[in-house]
């Protein structure tokens, strides 16, 4: 899958619309490749050491050392204290 000119990539998630999400380690952001081939950065502002990415609906979760950051479709970012509890 071509993501164009990017840094080192890690992780992989597939959205409901068949978009592909990966972590750009160097940019500390998530890239989205839409089915038509358009690649855009998501715009995370709080990632420090991204490890893995997951997508559910319009929410994108990124695991990083010590916590999880979740970005909602409206652009808000949170680190839910109970994410993954249980």
pLDDT digits (tens, 9 = 90+) for 3-13: 777 778 999 99
Q: What is the pLDDT of residues 55-85, one digit of tens each?
A: 998 899 999 888 888 888 888 888 876 555 4
The set of residues, in sequence order, having a beta carbon less than 8 Å from that of 4 and lying 6+ positions away, is 39
Q: What is the pLDDT of residues 13-57, one digit of tens each?
A: 999 999 999 999 989 999 999 999 999 999 988 889 999 999 998
pLDDT score recorded for residue 81 = 64
Kindly write down the DSSP assignment for every residue of 69-80, as one continuous string: EEE-TTS-EE--
Q: What's the CA gap between 64 and 41, in Å, rounded?
A: 18
């Amino acid at each position: 899958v071509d993501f164009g000119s990017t840094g080192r990539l890690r992780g992989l998630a597939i959205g409901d619309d068949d978009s592909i999400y990966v972590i750009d380690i160097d940019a500390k952001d998530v890239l989205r490749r839409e089915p038509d081939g358009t690649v855009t950065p998501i715009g995370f502002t709080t990632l420090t050491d991204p490890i893995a990415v997951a997508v559910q609906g319009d929410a994108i979760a990124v695991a990083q050392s010590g916590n999880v950051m979740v970005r909602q479709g409206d652009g808000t970012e949170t680190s839910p204290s109970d994410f993954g509890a249980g």
